[in-house]
């Protein structure tokens, strides 16, 4: 255990109104007002990946985090108004920036090329989180503490984002140890911290809560459902009328959309033409669970089904999973354009590095 004790003080400026308040509410006056916070935290050389400092406003969370983690405490900085967020990470290679975005659940390429100011509150929070974690790229094992964690987003985004970052840190995708500093207790079971310091009681608890389960419902839907998802997809917004469309909901709310089409001139084979998970739900594997459920439905009907993508998160999942088989790798995408009177909305992958996978089903694993 490491003992952290910090005293904060500020001058008391005497005035007539200050004297009035002191008299009305029996506030003791002196030259300075001070308060001391004394707590225990795990040692830096102990084995832990994620920590949580939680407590009500004014309980000393930020003060203790600053004393304990120093320069590791992320301080938000302004984002340029005339640059895309993907351009705001200094000399970090673009592939690493994409990896950071994906790790915090900011997985929508159309939003990567926009300025910070026009993004949603949830997307801006994830950008700040990615920027904080970028500091660990050159120092594996560094502690990154993030103050006001999830304070500016709705609680649904808070839970999903907490689970997303916990997942990537424990996988080693982000080579840092992470400490969330927040007044919101509801993120604890989603963040699954190794330790929790509750500033309301001053008690340090070592625990690892189990993340709540997420149960999706899969529905066959009409093409019109695509309107809710179209602006978050990185390809053309058009959708072929021949597409089979599917919608995933969580607690009655739409979260993911997928569409499949026949593969031209290949009887009994289909491919995913659209896969989109809404930004608020990205980062914890909802999209691929949904895709595999839809693929299993096709398999049960006797279809073979493929997915082709350049998105690193999808490619990484399929490469790790025994339920998918790599069938093609094209480092520069397709060079020819296919046309067909039956599939006028077809768009190929020219200019993009893509990987194709066939779904085999869980029974083969």
Would you say residue 345 lies in a domain?
Answer: yes
Based on the domain organization, do 61 and 187 belong to the same domain? yes
Q: In terms of domains, do 242 and 348 share one?
A: yes
Give me the pLDDT at residue 118, please.
96
Distance CA 349, CA 338 (A): 10
Is pLDDT at 339 greater than 50 in this prediction? no
Which pLDDT band holds residue 340 (cuts at 50, 70, 90)? very low
Q: Which of 279-283, 297-301, 347-351 has the highest average model confidence (pLDDT)?
A: 297-301
pLDDT band at 156 (very low <50, low <70, confident <90, very high): confident
Residue 101 reports pLDDT greater than 50: yes
Q: What is the tally of structural domains in the chain?
A: 2
pLDDT higher than threshold 90 for residue 3: no
Given this model, what pLDDT does residue 33 score?
A: 75
Distance between CA atoms of residues 261 and 242, nearest Å: 7
On whether both 192 and 87 belong to a single domain, the answer is yes
Report how far apart, in Å, the C-alpha atoms of 89 and of each of 70, 84, 92, 94, 169 are.
22, 10, 6, 9, 20
Q: Answer yes or no: is 9 within a domain.
A: no
229 and 199 within one domain: no
Tell me: pLDDT of 152 over 50. Answer: yes
pLDDT on residue 337: 40
Asked if residue 247 is part of any domain, the answer here is yes
Asked if pLDDT for residue 349 goes beyond 80, the answer is no
Q: Do 356 and 335 have their domain in common?
A: yes
> How confident is the prediction for the chain on average, in pLDDT?
87
- On whether both 127 and 244 belong to a single domain, the answer is no
State the burial class of residue 68 (Cβ atoms within 10 Å of its Cβ: 0-12, 13-18, 19+). buried
CB 216 within 8 A of CB 286: yes
Residue 226, SS3? helix
**Cα torsion for 295, 299, 300, 301, to the nearest 10°?**
110
What gap in Å lies between CA 48 and CA 327, rounded to an integer?
A: 39
324 and 303 in a common domain: yes
C-alpha closest to that of 63 among 178, 153, 181, 167:
181
Identify the domain containing residue 301 by its residue range.
Answer: 216-364
Q: Is 257 within the bounds of a domain? A: yes
Same domain, 145 and 279: no
Q: Is residue 313 part of a domain?
A: yes
pLDDT at 351 over 70: no
SS3 call for 148: coil
Helix (H, G, I), strand (E, B) or coil at 334: coil
**Using CA atoms, how far apart are residues 346 and 317, in angstroms rounded to an integer?**
25
Domain boundary among 157, 173, 206: 206
CA distance 171 to 165: 10
For residues 288 and 174, state if they share a domain: no
58 inside domain: yes
- CATH number at 330 reads 3.40.630.30
- 145 vs 345, higher pLDDT: 145
Over its C-alpha atoms, the chain yields an Rg (Å, rounded) of 25
Asked if pLDDT for residue 353 goes beyond 80, the answer is no
User: Does the structure show a pLDDT above 90 at 296?
Assistant: yes
The residue written with tokens 């994409």 in the block is 98
Least confident of 64-73, 78-87, 219-228: 64-73
> Which pLDDT score, from 0 to 100, does residue 363 have?
55
**Angle subtended by helix axes 94-103 and 121-134, to nearest 10:** 120
196 within 8 A of 205, measured Cβ to Cβ: yes
Choosing from 147, 176, 206, the residue where a domain stops is: 206
- Residue 59 covered by a domain: yes
The better pLDDT of the pair 214, 340 is held by 214
How far lies 11's CA from each of 22, 25, 29, in Å? Answer: 15, 19, 10
Mean pLDDT score, 18-47: 85
Whole-angstrom distance, CA of residue 320 vs CA of residue 301: 26
Cα–Cα distance list, 267 to 188, 262, 270, 285, 303 (Å)? 50, 8, 8, 31, 9
Structure tokens at 20: 């009035």
Q: Is residue 6 part of a domain?
A: no
Phi, psi of 39 (to 5 degrees): -140, 175
β-sheet with 216-221: strand ranges across: 216-221, 244-250, 253-262, 269-277, 304-309, 354-359, 324-330
Same domain, 176 and 240: no
Q: What is the pLDDT of residues 203-226, one digit of tens each?
A: 999 977 788 889 999 999 999 999
Q: Write down the pTM of the prediction.
A: 0.80
- DSSP reduced 3-state for 31: coil
């Amino acid at each position: 255990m490491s003992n952290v004790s910090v005293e904060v003080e500020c001058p008391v400026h005497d005035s007539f109104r200050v004297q009035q308040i002191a008299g009305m509410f029996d506030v003791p006056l002196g030259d300075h007002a001070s308060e001391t916070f004394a707590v225990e935290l795990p040692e830096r050389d102990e084995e832990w990946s994620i920590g949580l400092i939680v407590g009500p406003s004014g309980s000393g969370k930020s003060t203790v985090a600053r004393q304990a983690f120093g320069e590791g405490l992320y301080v938000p900085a302004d984002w340029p108004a005339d640059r895309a967020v993907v351009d705001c990470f200094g000399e970090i290679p673009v592939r690493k920036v994409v990896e950071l975005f994906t790790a915090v659940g900011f997985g929508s390429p159309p939003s990567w090329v926009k300025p910070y100011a026009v993004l949603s509150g949830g997307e801006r929070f994830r950008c700040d989180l990615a920027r904080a974690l970028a500091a660990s790229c050159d120092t594996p094992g560094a502690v990154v503490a993030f103050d006001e964690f999830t304070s500016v987003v709705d609680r649904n985004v808070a839970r999903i984002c907490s689970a997303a970052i916990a997942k990537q840190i424990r996988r080693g995708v982000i080579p840092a140890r992470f400490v969330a500093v927040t007044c919101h207790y509801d993120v604890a079971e989603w963040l699954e911290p190794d330790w929790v310091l509750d500033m309301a009681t001053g008690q340090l608890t070592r625990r690892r809560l189990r993340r709540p389960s997420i149960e999706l419902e899969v529905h066959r839907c009409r093409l019109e459902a695509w309107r809710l998802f179209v602006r978050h997809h990185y390809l053309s917004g058009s959708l072929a009328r021949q597409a089979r469309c599917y919608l995933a909901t969580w607690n009655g709310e739409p979260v993911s959309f997928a569409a499949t089409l026949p593969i031209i001139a290949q009887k009994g084979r289909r491919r995913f033409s659209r896969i989109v998970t809404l930004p608020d739900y990205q980062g914890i594997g909802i999209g691929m669970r949904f895709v595999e459920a839809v693929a299993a439905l096709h398999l049960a009907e006797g279809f073979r089904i493929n997915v082709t993508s350049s998105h690193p998160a999808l490619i990484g999942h399929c490469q790790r999973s025994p339920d998918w088989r790599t069938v093609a790798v094209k480092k520069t995408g397709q060079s020819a354009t296919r046309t067909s009177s039956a599939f006028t909305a077809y768009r190929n992958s020219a200019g993009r590095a893509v990987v194709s996978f066939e779904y085999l089903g869980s029974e083969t694993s």
